[in-house]
A and B are shown apart, each in its own frame.
Chain A
Amino acid sequence: MVSEKAITKKDVEHVALLARLALTEEEKERFTKQLGKILEHAGKIKEIDTSKVPPTSHIVPLDNVFREDKAGECLSQEEALSNAPEKEEGAFLVPKIV
Chain B
Amino acid sequence: MELFNQPAHELKRMMDTGEISAFEIAKSVFKRIEMVEPKVEAYVTLTEGQAAAQAKEADAKIKKGEGRGSLFGIPLAIKDNMCTKGVLTTCSSGILKNFIPVYDGTVVRKVSDAGLIMTGKTNLDEFAMGSSTETSFFGTTRNPWDLETVPGGSSGGSAAAVAAGEAIMALGSDTGGSIRQPAALCGVVGLKPTYGLVSRYGLVAFASSLDQIGPITKDVTDCALLLQAIAGQDERDSTSVDINIPDYNKALVADVKGMKIGLLKEMMGEGIQDEVKTAIKNAVDVFSKMGAEIIEVSLPHAEYALSAYYLIAPAEASSNLARYDGVRYGHRTSEKVKDMIDMYMKTRAEGFGNEVKRRIMLGTYALSAGYYEAYYGQAQKIRTLIVQDFEKAFDKVDAILSPTSPTTAFKIGEKFENPLQMYLSDICTIPVNLAGLPGISIPCGLSDGLPIGLQIIGKPFDEMTVLRTAYAFEQAYGFKERPKLD
Contact = CB atoms under 8 A, between A and B. Distances in A.
Asked if A and B form a direct contact in the complex, defined as CB atoms under 8 angstroms apart, the reply is yes
Interface of A: 1-3, 7, 11-12, 15-23, 27, 31, 34-35, 37-39, 41-46, 48, 50, 53-62, 65, 67, 75, 79-80, 82-86, 92, 94-98
A15 to B, nearest CB: 5
Contact of A95 (B318, B340, B348): B340
Interface string B332-360: 10000111111111101100100001101
B75 interface: no
A8 to B, nearest CB: 11
Contact of A58 (B239, B310, B362, B419): B239
List the 7 closest pairs (A to B, CB-CB), nearest first. Answer: A83-B329, A59-B436, A55-B380, A85-B332, A22-B345, A50-B381, A22-B349
Nearest to B433: A59
B113 interface: no
B311 A56 contact: no
Nearest to B208: A58
B307 to A, nearest CB: 4
A67 B235 contact: yes
Contacts of A41: 306-307, 310, 420
Interface residues of B, number: 71
Interface in B217-264: 235, 238-239, 241
B99 interface: yes
Nearest to B375: A42
A62 B196 contact: yes
B209 A48 contact: no
Contacts of B327: 84-85, 92, 94
10 contacts: A15-B364, A38-B420, A55-B384, A56-B383, A56-B384, A59-B383, A67-B235, A80-B102, A94-B340, A95-B342
A67 B378 CA distance: 32
A42 B377 CA distance: 13
B380 A92 contact: no
Contacts of B235: 67
B241 A48 contact: no
Contacts of B30: none
A81 to B, nearest CB: 8
Nearest to A31: B361
